[in-house]
């Protein structure tokens, strides 16, 4: 994808062993940094009125990067209202994403969807989703479809701890397990359903134990450790592809910012500052960068180069979005029906 | 032509689509071994196997949502929700997902699926198994709403619904399942947005849906003896609505009754009445009258249910009111 070398997706890398190659590790790092830097522009752009409602993924990048690195282009994902990371990790183009956030006609959804509805069917991205938990049954259906069409496509279904309390979660996981469908349920437990802490919204600590109820494997991993996510999801995806059924993976992580841009004081009404700072110390990108430096996979110069190239691509995406026209008034009435 | 029931006509449409298009599959509660609560899918499990006729858990959000995902990725699911009342358990999937995906994604992606579900009171089903709130779906742009009143229409419209690229809410009527009518054996489709004039007349137009079509036709016969000629038009699809045929009829007769089994308030009849008042009031020689259900939940007790369901008596009453303006 794109012209930028740094972010060229290597789908062959999806045929992986447990241990990623050096190149794959650099790719994982690059995807995480892309998500971080792309979203890094959004608070300003939002505050200045360039974009509408948006929910940032900052702090959770290892989950999207680690899971999607195991997926092929034709595999599917369903995403959430906090979807930028998933879309970027699955190969979404920054300029069309940014144009969509700007509400421009050339954006992924012609400016009609915005941050919460970005989709790219050609990349298997079945859409971000504004309703908590709603992507789960849809992911199950995509998996059912792959099974019926006798392809070996896998669907990765992202959702949060909040969604794990919905009926859609239960109905979706139940249906997937009854039919042993090729879907991997990736629960990003960022400890809050909007403002309500996990302690207040469920009586369990590890959401993965809910897998027992569906007779499927359930595992909990450190969601800020991209290699842990990569390995756990890689195994689950290989099992799904081999027809061995679904898995529930819980990735424990944390969102740095408020629930959405505009959440007063970045969610400090309901989260202690110390807790936020504690999690920021566990930054998935810095941790991985340190590891890659120690192992001499990344040099300071290489890090600088990667970041510069991504910043340049984002600059171009912002300029592209800003220069693109808004939809025409007539567009309001189009695309209601096929 | 041979006559079959409304339920058999739907069954034939499902079978022929399963036969000719491998993307088509059925999902729903009790549609396999049981043959569907109203026996609409009877025999299809044996013919097409459990991979294409899927008995689901009682889990409307789950299987309606799964149908959406399957439709987005190349399949043509037809799901059955056992009662219209129960679509409420899948409302997020229907309203926020199925109806809007094509638009939200800027015209990319589509959800070619059919959701079949029966409405209608008259079987002692009480408040949660008898409702006719199909008008609700007309509030949701992105859905087509199909309302067959005869076996012939049911087969042709369902064939069309399965071919269509958009999500279709296919509203069947419980009390019509056992009614019979002529139906060709071969495959055929009926277009959406094309009303059927079930009876021609020059004095009063009745726009009627579902069971109200039969009820209106019966009453129209009675009034013919008095020299009052009643035209009965069945829109067959409420979205898209064949405004042209209805307008033409109202211009001819100058009098309009709209008969639909939903509650009168904010219902199908209200919408058609309002639109005619806006666009054709100069042709009207009488107030528009609506026939429908009262604004109450549906009672269980037979005598109460009988009062609740709009029937021939209600249609007759409306025509008698109209007579003042003839």
Query: Which tens digits make up the pLDDT trace of A201-258?
Result: 999 999 999 999 999 999 999 999 999 999 999 999 999 999 999 999 999 999 999 9
pLDDT attached to residue A14:
54
pLDDT attached to residue A15:
56
Domain membership flag for residue A148: yes
d(CA B116, CA A23): 51
Q: What is the mean pLDDT of residues A153-171?
A: 98
Q: Where is B3: in which H helix or E strand?
A: strand B3-5
- Looking at per-residue confidence, does A4 or A175 come out higher? A175
For the record, the structure tokens of A2 come out as 């794109």
For the stretch B192-205, pLDDT in tens is 999 999 999 999 99
- Contact call for residues A6 and A30 (beta carbons, < 8 A): yes
How many other C-beta atoms can be found within 10 angstroms of the C-beta atom of residue B79?
Answer: 28
Phi, psi of A147 (to 5 degrees): -65, -45
pLDDT attached to residue A17:
57
B106, pLDDT greater than 80: yes
B254, pLDDT greater than 60: yes
Domain membership flag for residue A197: yes
Mean pLDDT across chain B, nearest whole number? 97
Interface of A with B in 108-127 (CB under 8 A): 108-113, 117, 119-121, 126-127
Q: What is the mean pLDDT of residues A77-93?
A: 97
Q: What is the 8-class DSSP label of residue A148? A: H
Q: Which residues of A touch B57 (CB under 8 A)?
A: 171, 174-175, 178
Residue linked to tokens 């752009």 = A45
Q: What is the mean pLDDT of residues A111-123?
A: 96
Residue linked to tokens 């269509």 = B164
For the stretch B209-252, pLDDT in tens is 999 999 999 999 999 999 999 999 999 999 999 999 999 999 99
- Contact call for residues A270 and A192 (beta carbons, < 8 A): yes
pLDDT attached to residue A11:
59
B325, pLDDT greater than 80: yes
Q: Residue A222's domain is classified under what CATH number?
A: 3.40.50.970
Domain membership flag for residue A298: yes
B129 catalytic, yes or no? yes
- Contact call for residues A240 and A182 (beta carbons, < 8 A): yes
pLDDT bracket for residue A262 (50, 70, 90):
confident
A13, pLDDT greater than 80: no
Q: What is the mean pLDDT of residues B124-136?
A: 96
Residue linked to tokens 């995806």 = A237
Q: Under an 8 A CB cutoff, do B96 and A134 touch?
A: yes
ipTM above 0.90, yes or no: yes
- Preferred mutation among B104, B165, B240 to probe A, highest tally of A CBs within 10 A: B104
Strand partners, A125: A77, A120
Using the Cβ of B142 and the Cβ atoms of chain A, whether some distance falls under 8 Å is answered with yes
Domain membership flag for residue A74: yes
Domain membership flag for residue A118: yes
Using the Cβ of A92 and the Cβ atoms of chain B, whether some distance falls under 8 Å is answered with no
Residue of chain A nearest B105, judged by CA positions: A109
A147, pLDDT greater than 60: yes
Domain membership flag for residue A181: yes
pLDDT bracket for residue A4 (50, 70, 90):
very low
For the record, the structure tokens of A31 come out as 């995807």
Q: What is the mean pLDDT of residues A297-315?
A: 97
A3, pLDDT greater than 50: no
pLDDT attached to residue A297:
96
What chain B holds in terms of domains, given with CATH numbers, is 3-182 (3.40.50.970), 196-323 (3.40.50.920)
A302, pLDDT greater than 50: yes
pLDDT attached to residue A19:
82
Domain membership flag for residue A204: yes
Q: Which residues of B touch A167 (CB under 8 A)?
A: 61
Counting one residue from chain A and one from chain B, the pairs whose CB atoms sit within 8 A come to: 144
- Contact call for residues B228 and B203 (beta carbons, < 8 A): yes
Q: What is the mean pLDDT of residues A293-303?
A: 96
Question: Out of B70, B97, B103, whose CB is closest to A335?
Answer: B103
Question: Out of A110, A155, A172, whose CB is closest to B62?
Answer: A172
How many other C-beta atoms can be found within 10 angstroms of the C-beta atom of residue A282?
Answer: 16
Strand extents, DSSP E, B218-293: 230-234, 237-239, 256-263, 289-293
Active-site residue among B102, B108, B129, B134?
B129
Domain count, chain A: 1
A8, pLDDT greater than 80: no
pLDDT attached to residue A10:
60
pLDDT attached to residue A9:
62
Q: Find all residues with CB under 8 Å of A161, minimum gap 6, and list them.
A: A187, A188, A189, A190, A191, A192, A193, A198, A201, A202, A207
pLDDT bracket for residue A265 (50, 70, 90):
confident
Q: What is the 8-class DSSP label of residue B123? A: S
For the stretch B151-179, pLDDT in tens is 999 999 999 999 999 999 999 999 999 99
Q: Under an 8 A CB cutoff, do B75 and A149 touch?
A: yes
Cis peptide before B240 (omega within 30 of 0): yes
Tell me the residue range of the domain where A314 lies: 23-321
Q: What is the mean pLDDT of residues B88-105?
A: 98
How many other C-beta atoms can be found within 10 angstroms of the C-beta atom of residue A262?
Answer: 12
d(CA A151, CA B18): 20
For the stretch A310-319, pLDDT in tens is 999 999 999 9
Interface of A with B in 144-163 (CB under 8 A): 144-146, 148-149, 155
Q: What is the mean pLDDT of residues A275-291?
A: 97
Domain membership flag for residue A309: yes
Mean pLDDT across chain A, nearest whole number? 94
Helix (H, G, I), strand (E, B) or coil at A16: coil
pLDDT attached to residue A2:
37
């Amino acid at each position: 994808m794109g012209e930028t070398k740094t972010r060229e997706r290597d789908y062959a890398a999806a045929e992986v062993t447990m241990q990623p190659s050096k190149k794959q590790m650099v790719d994982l790092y690059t995807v995480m940094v892309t998500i971080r830097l792309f979203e890094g522009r959004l608070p300003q752009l939002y505050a200045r009125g360039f974009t509408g409602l948006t929910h940032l993924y900052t702090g959770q990048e290892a989950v999207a990067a680690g899971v999607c690195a195991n997926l092929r282009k034709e595999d599917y994902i369903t995403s959430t209202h906090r979807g930028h990371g998933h879309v970027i990790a699955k190969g979404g183009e920054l300029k069309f994403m940014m144009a969509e956030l700007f509400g421009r006609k050339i954006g992924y959804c012609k400016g009609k969807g915005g941050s919460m509805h970005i989709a790219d069917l050609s990349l298997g991205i079945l859409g971000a989703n504004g309703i908590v938990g709603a992507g789960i049954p849809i992911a199950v259906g995509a998996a059912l479809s792959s099974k019926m069409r006798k392809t070996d496509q896998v669907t990765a279904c992202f959702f949060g701890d909040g969604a794990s309390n919905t009926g859609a979660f239960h109905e979706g996981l139940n249906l997937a397990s009854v039919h042993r469908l090729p879907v991997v349920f990736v629960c990003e437990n960022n400890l809050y359903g909007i403002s309500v802490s996990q302690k207040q919204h469920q009586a369990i600590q590890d959401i993965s134990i809910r897998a027992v109820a569906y007779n499927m494997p359930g595992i909990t991993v450190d969601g800020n450790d991209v290699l842990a996510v990569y390995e756990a999801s890689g195994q689950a995806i290989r099992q799904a592809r081999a027809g061995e059924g679904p898995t529930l993976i819980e990735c424990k992580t944390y969102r740095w910012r408020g629930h959405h841009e505009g959440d007063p004081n970045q969610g400090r009404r309901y989260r202690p500052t110390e807790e936020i700072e504690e999690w920021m110390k566990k930054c998935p990108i810095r941790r991985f960068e340190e590891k890659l430096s120690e192992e001499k996979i990344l040099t300071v110069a290489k890090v600088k180069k990667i970041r510069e190239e991504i910043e340049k691509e984002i600059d171009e995406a912002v300029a592209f979005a800003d220069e693109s026209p808004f939809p025409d008034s007539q567009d309001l009435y189009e695309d209601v029906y096929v | 032509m041979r006559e079959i029931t409304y339920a058999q006509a739907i069954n034939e449409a499902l079978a022929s689509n399963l036969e000719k298009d491998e993307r088509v599959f059925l999902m729903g509660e009790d549609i396999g071994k049981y043959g569907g609560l109203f026996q609409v899918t009877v025999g299809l499990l044996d013919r097409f196997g459990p991979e294409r006729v899927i008995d689901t858990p009682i889990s409307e959000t789950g299987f309606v949502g799964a149908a959406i995902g399957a439709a987005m990725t190349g399949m043509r699911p037809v799901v059955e929700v056992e009662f219209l009342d129960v679509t409420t358990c899948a409302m997020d999937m229907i309203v926020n997902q199925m109806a809007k995906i094509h638009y939200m994604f800027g015209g990319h992606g589509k959800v070619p699926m059919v959701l079949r579900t029966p409405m209608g009171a008259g079987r002692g089903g009480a408040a949660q198994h008898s409702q006719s709130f199909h008008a609700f779906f007309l509030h949701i742009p992105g859905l087509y709403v199909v309302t067959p009143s005869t076996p012939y229409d049911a087969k042709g419209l369902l064939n069309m619904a399965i071919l269509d690229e958009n999500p279709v809410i296919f509203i069947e009527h419980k009390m019509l399942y056992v009614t019979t009518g002529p139906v060709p054996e071969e495959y055929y489709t009926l277009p959406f947005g094309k009303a059927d004039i079930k009876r021609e007349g020059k004095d009063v137009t009745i726009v009627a849906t579902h069971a109200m079509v039969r009820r209106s036709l019966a009453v129209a016969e009675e009034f013919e003896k008095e020299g009052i000629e009643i035209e009965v038009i069945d829109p067959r699809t409420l979205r898209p609505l064949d405004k042209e045929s209805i307008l033409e009829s109202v211009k001819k007769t100058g009098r309009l009754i709209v008969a639909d089994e939903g509650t009168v308030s904010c219902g199908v009849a209200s919408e058609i009445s309002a639109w005619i008042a806006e666009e054709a009031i100069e042709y009207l020689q009488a107030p528009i009258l609506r026939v429908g259900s009262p604004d109450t939940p549906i009672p269980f007790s037979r005598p109460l249910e009988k009062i609740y369901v709009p029937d021939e008596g209600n249609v007759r009453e409306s025509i008698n009111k109209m007579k003042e303006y003839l």
